[in-house]
Structure 1
Amino acid sequence: MSLPDNSDEGSGGEYDPNTSLSGLKEPQPQIPFDPGAMVEAIPAAVWVTKPDGIVQFFNRFYLDYVGLSLEEALKEGIRAAVHPDDDRAFVQLFDEVGKRKLALQCELRMRGADGIYRWFICSLNPSFDANSRLLGCCGTCINIEERKKVEAELRRNEAFLAQGQRLTATGSTWWNVKTGEIIWSEETYRQMGYPPDVAPTVDLAMNRLHPEDAERVAATILGNSAKGLDIDMEHRLMMPDGRVTHCRIVLHNQQDSENPVYVGAMANITGWKESEARERRNALLLAAGERIGRTGTFSWITDGKDLTASPEFRRILEFDENENITVEKCLSRIVPEDVATLIGKTPGTLAEMANAEHDVRIRATDGSIRHIKFIGQVETREDGREECLGAVRDVTQQRQAEEMLDQLRTELSRLTGAMSIAEMAASVAHEVNQPLAGMVANASTVLRMLSTETPDVPAALEAARRGLRDANRGAEVVQRLRALFRKELPVMSLVDLNGAVREVLLLLRSSIRRNRIALRSELALELPLVRGDRVQLQQVVMNMLKNAIETLEHVSDRPKSVQVVTGLTGDGEAEFVVQDNGPGLRPEDMARMFEPYYTSKPHGMGVGLFLSKSIVESHGGRIFMRPQTGFGAVFGFTLPVARS
């Protein structure tokens, strides 16, 4: 049966209450009730078609809904009210009813008098005669708009729930213990590793238990469910691919203990468990690192008194494990003189004092003194409060080692000077020999001048003066030598750097001549004085010059030269520079030249430049070196000039 276009002529007619709804043309016997009135009372759209599909009747509900008279509705036909997107399904409904000779239905939207389409469930019931010929159809359309809205809202909520469960990795479950019926949500299926078309059972769930957890979990679930007790536990699952996940199961019994029915959730806590394990490991590593590095950490909200401290912090400041730590208790551990120094150095609030770096001493319970380095930084938290994050480090061993190193450096400096005595003896002997020879020659001259019959007194006096000058020169050489090797504390005074350099050049003059080195000195005029120990500074100058001389010992393919320069840097500091044209510096020497016991010479000890660096830095200066373009190297140092 095809559905005609109701706009055709003769497509409708008046409703005759004596005509049956089955489409029979023969008049039926009169009954004591009005069937038309009953049809009009049905709260649904009712319509009747002829065998050819032409609608010949609409009830009042339909007419009121579409806002048409019977004549208008019969003329337009029912398809005029059907949504265009549903028209095809409506036509197919008529065709299927005619082919299959069955009552069928479909859902479609129909336009109301207000122009709004609403959902209806349309049922079409065919009527046949004894020979299976179609007599007509009776159709009903029941408004399901509210049901559709509820279904849409339900689908929306289900989508939100599924998405929420996926995002939170939490599935839901329902379990009737008596019947064994179980319902899993989509997320529970995903976590259990089963496809959604598999009916869930207790055995399926047990098959996923980690072997090490299976006995414990099975005993808890079966034991609690037998008594109707709630279940809350954590365990591991093992997937078919070998993956291990952690989950938490929470099941609540909604009924009595005799007929338990559980509703609950299953949360994947693998990420949380892994984070927890990482945090534990990090805490252990931090604690081990703090213990090895003797460094404790703390946190202090500056508008309060209490501190949160690490175990190493407690150990360093000797606080018990559960003792409440306050700022006042920490300050009480510090030596009183250092507390006064702290307050004087950083006047203001405790927070301002904490936002700095300090070196303090604390007195231990055994009476010993410990050296502590404190570093703090105050940050503003999200809630607007200020928090000091800091660390304390026990540097007692470091301070003791530094003191020992200073003593060793002093001894080593003296020893280095003493070890150079054999080398310097020749230079000193040469320097002393010259004035001694002059003294002998001048004394002989005096004797000769005075032993004649007519003594030449003026000439004798001149010779005596020359002898006295030579004696003074010899005494100066001996005095410098004694000062160099005498174990004395540094004597800080105003030093003429040019004069100190000249004296060292005199001592090394014979060595320079012996090695056929061309020496060029450019000492700045009116060079400001520096403050320091003259002997120590001369030791640095001598070490650099000796290194330059020794570097040139094996140079034979070019003239040997050493240049000595003094002057002022751009920063206004006094500078001393030695430049040679020897083989230069190797790349590996550049990074280690000032390290102790490192030397590039076959028979060197590696202490000269190390001590020179220590001396220069103790004078507030800076030592440096750099390679030369072509041949040679440059060594030197700078010192602050003395201020009046």
Structure 2
Amino acid sequence: MTLGSMDDFDDMRASEARLRALIDTGPGFVWRTGADGGVDFLNQRWYDYTGMTPAEAHGFGWARAVHPDDADGLSRYWIGLLQSNQPGQYEARLRRFDGAYRWFLIRATPKLDQAGRVTHWYGGNTDIDDQKRGELLLAGEKRVLEMMATGRALPEILGELCTVVEGALGGCASGIVLAPSRRGHAVTETTCISHTLPEALIARGMRSVLDPAGCPLAAAALAGDQVVVDDLSAESRWPGWATVVRANGFCAAIATPVASSQGKVLGVLIILYRQIHAPTGNEQALIAQFSHMASIAIERALNDVALNQIRSDMAHVARVATLGALTASIAHEVNQPLSGIITNANTCQRMLGASPPNIDGARETTQRIVRDGYRAADVIKRLRALFAKKPLATERIDINDTTREVVTLLLGELQRQGIGVFPMYADDVPQVTGDRVQLQQVILNLVLNATDALQTVTDRARQVRVRTWQDINGVHLAVEDNGTGFDPADAAQLFDAFYTTKDAGMGIGLSVSRYIMESLEGQLRASLNETHGATFTLTLPIAAPV
């Protein structure tokens, strides 16, 4: 080798060293693979970030650094890229040497020979974690707000919020402890919602929450202030709880009270980090934002519960208000079997007093007494079920049988008023799902409204028709009268609370009825008949197959 060529070689080596230094000290990861996709070069940044050795990362070993939730998607994308010979890019999370994950944009470009065949793939990974977490945060907040707006269940909303928390903060698991209530100085009746906290940890944590000195959740709930534990190994206030948490792989904790708009503590947002961690100012701002969203969701749910209780009370009031109108029917229904009992008891006495006693006849008469006793008891049972105040019970309902019971209950009163009832029940009507008592209340209210509409009718036979049928829209029940109908101008207000066209009406019957139907995922609508009167029609979805 000549002196000149040696100088050229030294220059080339120096240039290569400068290039290698540039590649190793650049802000991103640089890599190269063979045509088969197996890695044969990674820059030093990669090794510093992942903590892997060249031997561990060689070939396809690098894939162990990919987040488990992203691994399958990245693998499929990479295989498709190798088959297409086209450049591409993919977003995935890569594990840092300390176990934390960050988002990277992974770009790959093929190097082709003169024949157009791939000889190598060259790529670079750019850290996009801050940008990605910001995008995920906005998308997650939007999902949570949409769930609130559409009335999703509170556990679903808070579970999704925990997912947003973990995505935004990274390296953590979270949960929301609901509704701690104060009794003296104790915290009781707790429930934890979380997708990622271990079950054993939740169970131990819930037991600890019952003790004010048991864990930071209790301290945060009782004091109304955030509790931050940067390093659980150095924590002495809650040794039992800290030991369990550390045994489950967590090293730091933040417990933030979730407060209502009036300052009442509704729960606690607990965040557990897998590494020793002190929250930054930006993280604290995010935690405050998440706590506020949780308070909105919880307050909304509590308000819905209170509103439903008010509606339930109104429904009960509406049922009780019909007692006066049903007095004659109730007396008639109970009087029939009681009269039978008295008659049969007198007959039985005569048979037993005969000489010789008519034992067989007396036995048959006592059987009739028992039958009538059961009939009277059944009437009372139905009335108690209809007018008692008790929790809702969802069940499969035969709408024909349910309607028959109501019509039977009202029959005596309708006959007393000279109103003809014409039931027409379609055969093979499928079952619906709901609370039987609530559905009977709606039917009862519609029939009573029909009788009220007939009170001033004197120029034609007064009639109420009750019919059922089904079509593609569900199961229908219509109550039709030939009474006075209603003013078309009132149609839009018929179902408004406290709106009534009756002199003695309270204006809650139709409002409660529509609420009940909507709670059963059904509909209630009113229409004027072509000649006289009006028709009220309820529609319910067909019950799902068993």
TM-score norm. by structure 2 comes to 0.48
Higher relative contact order (CA 8 A, sep 6+): 2
TM-score norm. by structure 1 comes to 0.41
